[in-house]
Amino acid sequence: MFRRFQLESPRVALYRPRSFLYNVKVTVKLLKSKVWYRLLQFDEYKIKLNNLLPALEDLERALNLDSAVKELDLLDAESAADGFWDNLEKSQKTLQRIKVLRGKLEAQQKRRSLWSDLMTLCEMGSEEEDLSLLPELETGFASLSENMETARLQTLLTGEYDSANAILTFHAGAGGTEAQDWAQMLYRMYTRWAERHGFTYQVLDYLDGDEAGMKSATILIQGENAYGYLKGEHGVHRLVRVSPFDANARRHTSFAALEVMPEIPDDVEVDIRPEDIKMDVFRSSGAGGQHVNKTSSAVRLTHIPTGVVVACQTERSQFQNKDTCMRMLRSRLIQIKTQEHLEKISDIKGIQLKIEWGSQIRSYVFMPYQLVKDNRTAYESGNISSVMDGDLDGFINAFLTAQATGSWATK
């Protein structure tokens, strides 16, 4: 029986158990190789940091920090001079500019400091063979790279009004309640984006929907480069989902339009003749609360030659609402003039997209799959919940990069 087993299983004799000492040696050897491999990561990060240094220096030149230092010195001297507070509006703008310049300089100083700290971590980790420094190094390098990319995008904001505040106007498309609900979802998305970036926003006009959502709304987003970041969001946004307002749970496609224009400074001259303006007053029709007036203080202005209509109902007095409307009208007219100029040089610009129904810039698909895709840049995200909660930086960055390089997905 024993012989038959040997004949039937000749391979059994080939496998001999290894000694315990042999297994220990192999384990130690493997551990040493893994430690050695991880120690090499310090050298790899050192190479990455050295490769990043020229970009850091180029960024400093692109941000024109030497000029920022000179301007900051002049503004600091101006703010310390007698009579600085005599003109309150001018002094507040000066202080805001000082804050922006100082923030730009401090941000670059922090990037420089972080680069030096990371290089020190590489040297310490390599010399002392301290693997516990790797997580801090990895996190720091990712943070530096992300910060530099954000700063690089700021250098692309070279438009005349890119540094201005942004006025956003939402319009629900055809489709009744579903489209009006979609317009309100977009409204929430952009206000969340503003909050994520430390910007403030002010509601200038708000018209409720028939059953849910809103028919239209206008907000002012205040912050450095707000218009520069958001100008690419101008256009038609498309939604595909199973409508919560449909008892049969059918899939619906809805549209909402977003207009983005800069808040034009008061010192920019715009020729608006009084006889070209039609003014209507009405009672506020907002969602309720302190912004709704019991008197006809809301104002609607129509620019007769162009047909541009602006409205404001959130201020307490008719005079304040009219003043806000005039600012919005000035911004809109300048934007129209700029757009007419761009149409003449569309070949240089690289792409000219029409802002009309059926030519949406971005699609938001909730059903049958989840995806947000920009039709101009082909940038997309499958995390639709995050996007609707204001995570738009990927789309904004892709647009600014495509605009600077002319590398559009649509021709």
Average pLDDT along the chain: 83
The pLDDT assigned to 3 comes to: 46
The mean per-residue pLDDT over the stretch 229-255 comes to: 91
Asked whether residue 29 carries a pLDDT value surpassing 80, the answer given is no
Asked whether residue 16 carries a pLDDT value surpassing 60, the answer given is no
Fold observed for domain 166-346+364-405: Alpha-Beta Plaits (3.30.70)
User: What confidence tens digit (pLDDT) does each residue in 259-314 have?
Assistant: 999 988 766 667 788 888 999 998 776 544 444 445 678 899 999 988 889 989 88
The pLDDT assigned to 349 comes to: 33
The pLDDT assigned to 36 comes to: 59
The pLDDT assigned to 13 comes to: 45
Lookup result for tokens 């100029």: 341
Q: How far apart are CA 322 and CA 343, in angstroms?
A: 31
Q: Read off the tokens for 303.
A: 């620019």
Q: How far apart are CA 230 and CA 262, in angstroms?
A: 9
* Residues contacting residue 312 through CB under 8 Å, at least 6 positions apart: 204, 205, 218, 298, 299, 321, 322, 324, 325, 328
The pLDDT assigned to 143 comes to: 94
Q: What's the one-letter identity of residue 194? A: A
User: What confidence tens digit (pLDDT) does each residue in 346-400 have?
Assistant: 433 334 344 345 578 999 999 889 999 999 999 999 999 999 999 999 999 999 9
The pLDDT assigned to 355 comes to: 38
Domain boundaries, the chain: 23-154, 166-346+364-405
Contact 170, 183 (CB under 8 A): yes
The pLDDT assigned to 194 comes to: 97
More confident residue, 372 or 2: 372
3-class secondary structure, 374:
strand
Say whether domain 23-154 belongs to CATH 1.10.10.60.
no
Q: Tell me, yes or no, if the pTM score tops 0.85.
A: no
User: What confidence tens digit (pLDDT) does each residue in 179-211 have?
Assistant: 999 999 999 999 999 999 999 999 999 999 988
User: What confidence tens digit (pLDDT) does each residue in 69-122 have?
Assistant: 999 999 999 999 998 898 887 888 888 889 888 988 999 999 999 999 999 999
- b/e burial code for range 316-335 (CB count within 10 A of at least 16 → b): eebeebbebbbbbbbbbbbb
The pLDDT assigned to 4 comes to: 46
